[in-house]
Amino acid sequence: MDEFDFVVVGAGSSGGPIVDRLTAGGRYSVLLLEAGPEARSRWLSIPAGFAKTFLDPAVNWKFRTEAEPELGGRRIYWPRGKVIGGSSAINGMVYIRGLASDYDQWRQMGNEGWSFEDCLPYFRRLEGYIDGETALHGGEGPVRITQRDYANELGDTFLAACTEVGLESNDDFNGPEQIGAGYYHATASDGRRSSTGRAYIAPARRRSNCKVLTGALVERVVIEDGRAVGIAFSHRGRSRIARARREVILSAGTVGSPQILQLSGIGSGAHLSALGIPVVRDLPGVGENLQDHFCVRSTYKTWWRLTLNDDFSTFPRRVSAALLYALARVGPLTASPAFAGAFVKLLPQSSEPDTQIHFFPWSVDRMDQGPHPFSGFTILANQSRPESRGHIRITSRDAATAPAIVANYLSTETDRRAVIAAGKFERLLARSSALGRIITDEMLPGVEVWSDEDFLDYARREGQSAYHPVGTCRMGHDAESVVDPQLRVHGIRGLRVADASVMPTLISGNTNAACMMIGEKVSDLILADAQR
């Protein structure tokens, strides 16, 4: 229990691939530390279980930002996975790689080996597309990816509205072009979620050289003479240390990884000294460069009883949905939260899609109150590449205390113009003949919202996170970066960070696919160094 070749922190979207690949050859021993529990709840495998885990403290960190300056002081909810599989076990399962230019930009910023051409083999390696392998997609990877496992006429109607307002049909957002409207690819198959816990960690832990410990709260990285040699953590009320002969890899996510670095004395020297933490390495970029997709939603009543509200709001239909799932793994319980969507250009200066649309065949006021008692659906939009930057900083030496999160949503003029354009585009879709004929009432934002000022005010009152935070341990070569392009922490030997926090800029889409790719790619970098 005390010493391993590698110690990996975080059993999420990046940590899962790392542990699987490092243990596959049988040569190296690996300890995986996860703060959350085993993924035993049935809701973690059922796609529609998203609604149950969204607020479940047993498997969810349930972070909140500090009072956001541009949002009237509102604190924005950030669900993050705290369970084997991490956020891949509780997310919306949308599989989007983003634009090729997202990764090419990383390379142009000086991060060698991170262009789209460099990353594509690792996407293909993780992908188990149900339709098989193509030049752009993998067919034999561990993560099962499907499309239209659950779809109905309501989704087709949304896509008809997209066509009506000028969008081309796009059956593959991960293909040559992202722009257009279509059904999302999803990390699910045969009625089950394909999390990294299921795809990677389950096979890895069957190997004798893999040890997985849940309920382990990391307190700090143990650093001796400028080298990471282990992890100090608490488990079942006891303080323990696990030593790493070769490397420590932090895959604790955009919140957790900078928090652990700061607790270990790696971060802004002035900030750490003010908290009484001895400074091991003054890296002012730790916790900075925070980026997230900020979204606005529109919700509508409809007379058409095809919504998930209808499937789950009455007892007979809940029983019917349960029976369909139990007997054949089909029906409403196999639905991902958003099974259709679009990518559009709304800002005049954009040369590529700048806004993502999600279509939800259900509606709520608040997730903890369940679906509306009437038939309803939701359209949600977010800017793809926001300019606003925030930060994550610890406020205590106690690892159990959540850090302060400040996203600084809507802090630039471009981001404000983007959210206005997104709200107006949702209204345009709703007033198409395809959707207009089935809508009986606009619940949000409401017909009184009409001018640019109205839409911006609505976004400030009601906008939320799209749950895609990245960037707080940015890779690069400058003084504000935290890791190099091999994801090694600057100035500390034997320590890497590998998760969404290393992304220099936010990708154009949901982030889970990119996080898994990062795990796949860094595992090759680690193994190459270990064999030298």
Active-site positions? Answer: 468
Does residue 257 contact residue 251 with C-beta atoms inside 8 Å?
yes
Does residue 179 contact residue 345 with C-beta atoms inside 8 Å?
yes
Q: Angle at CA 326, nearest 5°, toward 325 and 327?
A: 95
Q: In what order do the strands lie in the sheet with 127-129?
A: 127-129, 143-147, 185-186
Residues paired with 7 in a beta bridge: 31, 248
Pairing mode, if any, of strands 143-147 and 180-183?
A: unpaired
Instruction: For residue 420, give the 3-state DSSP assignment.
Output: helix
Helix (H), strand (E) at residue 298? strand 294-302
The closest alpha carbon to 287, from 378, 407, 368, 137, belongs to: 407
Which tokens go with 197? 């816990």
| Amino acid residing at 267 | G
Helix (H), strand (E) at residue 313? helix 308-313
Residues written for the chain = 532
Residues paired with 511 in a beta bridge: none
Does residue 33 contact residue 213 with C-beta atoms inside 8 Å?
yes
Does residue 295 contact residue 380 with C-beta atoms inside 8 Å?
yes
Report the C-alpha gap between 143 and 205 in whole angstroms. Answer: 17
3-state secondary structure 166-210: CCCECCCCCCCCCCEEEECEECEECCEECCHHHHHHHHHCCCCCE
Does residue 367 contact residue 55 with C-beta atoms inside 8 Å?
yes
Pairing mode, if any, of strands 294-302 and 439-444?
A: antiparallel
Does residue 261 contact residue 483 with C-beta atoms inside 8 Å?
no
Which tokens go with 245? 């002969």
φ, ψ for residue 338 (rounded to 5)? -130, 105
Report the C-alpha gap between 73 and 66 in whole angstroms. Answer: 8
Does residue 75 contact residue 2 with C-beta atoms inside 8 Å?
no
Read off the DSSP letter of residue 44: G
What is the rounded radius of gyration, in angstroms, for the C-alpha atoms of the chain? 22
